[in-house]
Amino acid sequence: MKMKKFMASALAAALMLSLCGRSDETTKDTDDDEIVSENNDKNKDKENSEDDFEYKFDVTAGGNIITKYKGKEKNIIIPDTIGGERIVDISLRENEDIEYVSLSKGLTKIGVSAFQNCTSLTSVKIGKGVTLIGDCAFYDCTDLKNISIPDSIQYLAGDAFIGCDKAKITYKGNTYDCNTIYSAING
């Protein structure tokens, strides 16, 4: 079964590369149960410091919500915890500098307008713990090219990818555009 999943992922990655014409990005499943979009930037594997983020504690959700990125790096790796509390949601909207985001394994949702108008964002790594992608989550991320949605997704808002006309979205080994992904997930 793992071999079939690996082969399906490899085929999906090859398809995405041929459609996008980029040799510096691939998508593959890894043994640690997260979707990976690789790029060749030297800072890709460096987790950002707590000081790079503004955040607030959400009593109802039982963790911190990142409300702003203050760092200078264009590639952001969201840590599993900040201030000793797990990250439960994120909002990096209106940040025109970030190009790549890796979401922590513990994150379970990408909330409303999380990356809205992040116009330089090209690639996102989503952990398989994510079950919800909210309204306008990637609205007008006009440079978003590749994103893989994990099988763990239980709900995708219909307007999550509006304005992401360049995006090739992979879900369960198939590639969709911003207009067809909703029906693929929600039926």
pLDDT digits (tens, 9 = 90+) for 52-109: 999 999 999 899 999 999 999 999 999 999 999 999 999 999 999 999 999 988 899 9
Question: Higher-confidence residue: 11 or 90?
Answer: 90
Structure tokens at 105: 């394994």
Question: What proportion of the chain, given as a percentage, has pLDDT over 90?
Answer: 65
Instruction: Please tell me the pTM assigned to this model.
Output: 0.74
User: For residue 41, what is the domain's CATH number?
Assistant: 3.80.10.10
* 105-124 pLDDT tens trace: 889 999 999 999 999 999 99
Question: What proportion of the chain, given as a percentage, has pLDDT over 70?
Answer: 75
Residue 13, φ and ψ in degrees, nearest 5: -65, -45
Check residue 44 and give its pLDDT: 55
Q: Find the distance separating the first CA and the last CA of the chain, reported in whole Å.
A: 25
Which domain does 58 fall in, by range? Answer: 2-186
Residue 159 CB: number of other CB atoms within 10 A? Answer: 15
Q: Into how many domains does the chain fold?
A: 1
What's 127's DSSP letter? B
Q: Alpha-carbon distance 63 to 13, whole Å?
A: 34
